[in-house]
């Protein structure tokens, strides 16, 4: 029933947007606006969306909605039962539809370019793979170097903490970040996410994992990064196609910036650690700031992407993107996935999942038809570091402000340079406007090597 409802709703929405009436209105508007004006960018973004949508038949949209509804239900059952064979037939249908989707568009340098553009407009498969090749070599080298150092003690992170107290502390943190409670709220969910109904209504959720109590705190900071972006979009773009983020990669840069570059920094905890200790004297009374900082930045390869640390996270993303590309161009088949997953996990992280539930079945994305999505996670990490360096160069008091619990200058800079524009600029264009360079892995690699060299005494 859910699949049928989704199918009908998506088909109707698609038909409304791709109507001749909308096409004529866009053509007329294009003749009346200056291309470089706000109105010109609004027309250009809407025209881009319209041109892509009109290539896709409404019947396909309806079928895709039904298939992914069934696939997500099957994935939930398959993961619970650790049975990839249960999910495989549904994934076959999803991939067949994705291959069909590619045919609706002009030939690209790689078929994956078509699905990537849905999430990261203007980015190509060649650019992503080139970025990955630079990151992979140095991140693998870093992980191996860290593995030779004494293990970091993070036992305090696995003690028993009271959920309400951790929730209240996280709320205090994001309030200082600048989350506007008059235009948003926070609730609990089984998986953290941010959802926006416009700049005046942004919802975030978090989850409580008893044996990972700090997941609530860092997850809240992460989702607040998304929320601050949405709350910062100019009200001039409210209820227009310009509302929202430039891309998922740019959006992820905001969540990663606040969660990691701010929230896992020594300056941040120089301010907040005494307050956290006061809330949890039994768990943290004997823990020094240095030990705490090292503990929350411990590097340990893991099987699960959403639990991965900064130094290993991108390798999880690369594995998935490489498999997506192979599935789309036919060099890999669905039946090959469990073995390919284990081999890549062993090669990149030195681990091998004992079950498919811990391996190829751990993510919902493929069952939801989200091919082209995963690369945006790594792009977000990379862009966040570029923004951080650019802000730091323009604001020498960056770390001093953070150590004083003053996040207003950072948020104001992001609002002025990034947030307010919404979708007005394509991601590469926006990054270049702010940092004077295109998406570049250099600052991110320097950040990782500098930070973890200090944490582990390399």
Q: Which residues are catalytic?
A: 223
Q: How many CA atoms lie within 13 Å of 423's alpha carbon, on the beta-carbon side?
A: 24
Residues 407, 427: Cα–Cα separation, whole Å: 25
Distances (CA, A) of 421 to 62, 424, 433: 32, 5, 12
Q: Cβ(53)–Cβ(18) under 8 Å?
A: yes
**Coil, strand, or helix at residue 206?**
strand
Positive or negative: CA dihedral 335, 139, 456, 402: negative
Q: Cβ(269)–Cβ(150) under 8 Å?
A: no
Both tokens of 43, joined, read 């027309």
Q: How many CA atoms lie within 13 Å of 209's alpha carbon, on the beta-carbon side?
A: 17
Cross-strand pairs, 205: 187
Both tokens of 241, joined, read 């196609």
Positive or negative: CA dihedral 213, 202, 199, 436: positive
CB atoms < 10 A from the CB of 64, how many? 22
Q: Which of 432, 407, 332, 328 is nearest to 375 (CA)?
A: 328
Using CA atoms in the order 403, 409, 413, 415, what is the torsion angle rounded to 10 degrees? Answer: 110
φ, ψ (nearest 5 deg) of residue 127 = -65, -40
Residue 214 has what DSSP assignment?
Answer: H
Residue 331, classified by CB atoms within 10 Å of its CB into exposed (0-12), middle (13-18) or buried (19+), is exposed
């Amino acid at each position: 029933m859910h699949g049928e409802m989704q199918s009908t709703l998506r088909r109707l929405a698609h038909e409304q947007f791709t109507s001749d009436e909308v096409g004529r209105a866009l053509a007329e508007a294009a003749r009346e606006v200056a291309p470089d004006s706000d109105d010109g960018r609004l027309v250009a973004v809407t025209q881009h969306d319209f041109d892509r949508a009109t290539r896709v038949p409404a019947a396909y949209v309806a079928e895709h909605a039904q298939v992914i509804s069934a696939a997500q239900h099957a994935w939930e059952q398959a993961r619970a039962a650790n049975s990839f064979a249960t999910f495989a037939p549904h994934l076959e249908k999803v991939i067949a539809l994705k291959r069909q989707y590619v045919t609706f568009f002009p030939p690209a340098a790689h078929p994956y370019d078509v699905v990537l553009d849905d999430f990261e407009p203007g980015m190509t498969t060649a650019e992503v793979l080139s970025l990955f090749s630079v990151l992979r070599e140095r991140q693998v080298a870093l992980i191996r170097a860290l593995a030779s150092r004494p293990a970091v003690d993070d036992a305090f992170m696995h003690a028993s903490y009271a959920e309400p107290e951790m929730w209240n502390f996280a709320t205090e943190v994001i309030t200082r970040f600048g989350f506007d409670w008059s235009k948003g709220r926070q609730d609990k969910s089984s998986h953290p996410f941010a959802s926006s109904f416009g700049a005046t209504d942004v919802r975030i959720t978090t989850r409580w994992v008893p044996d990972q109590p700090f997941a609530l705190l860092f997850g809240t900071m992460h989702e607040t990064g998304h929320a601050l972006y949405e709350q910062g979009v100019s009200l001039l773009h409210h209820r227009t196609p310009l509302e929202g983020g430039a891309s998922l990669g740019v959006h992820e840069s905001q969540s990663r910036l606040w969660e990691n570059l701010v929230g896992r920094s020594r300056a941040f905890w120089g301010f907040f650690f005494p307050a956290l200790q006061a809330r949890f004297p039994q768990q943290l009374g004997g823990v020094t700031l240095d030990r705490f900082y090292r503990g929350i930045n411990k590097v340990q390869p893991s099987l699960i992407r959403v639990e991965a640390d900064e130094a290993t996270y991108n390798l999880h993303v690369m594995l998935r993107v490489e498999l997506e590309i192979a599935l789309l161009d036919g060099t890999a088949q669905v039946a090959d996935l469990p073995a390919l997953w284990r081999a890549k996990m062993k090669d990149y992280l030195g681990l091998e999942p004992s079950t498919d539930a811990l391996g190829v079945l751990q993510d919902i994305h493929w069952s939801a038809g989200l091919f082209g999505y995963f690369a945006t996670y790594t792009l977000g990490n990379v862009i966040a570091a570029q923004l951080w360096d650019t802000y730091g160069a323009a604001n020498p008091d960056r770390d001093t402000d953070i150590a004083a619990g003053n996040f207003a200058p950072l948020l104001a800079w992001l609002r002025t340079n990034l947030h307010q524009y919404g979708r007005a600029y394509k991601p590469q264009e926006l990054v270049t406007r702010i940092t004077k360079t295109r998406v570049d892995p250099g600052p991110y690699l320097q950040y990782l090597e500098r930070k973890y060299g200090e944490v582990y005494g390399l």
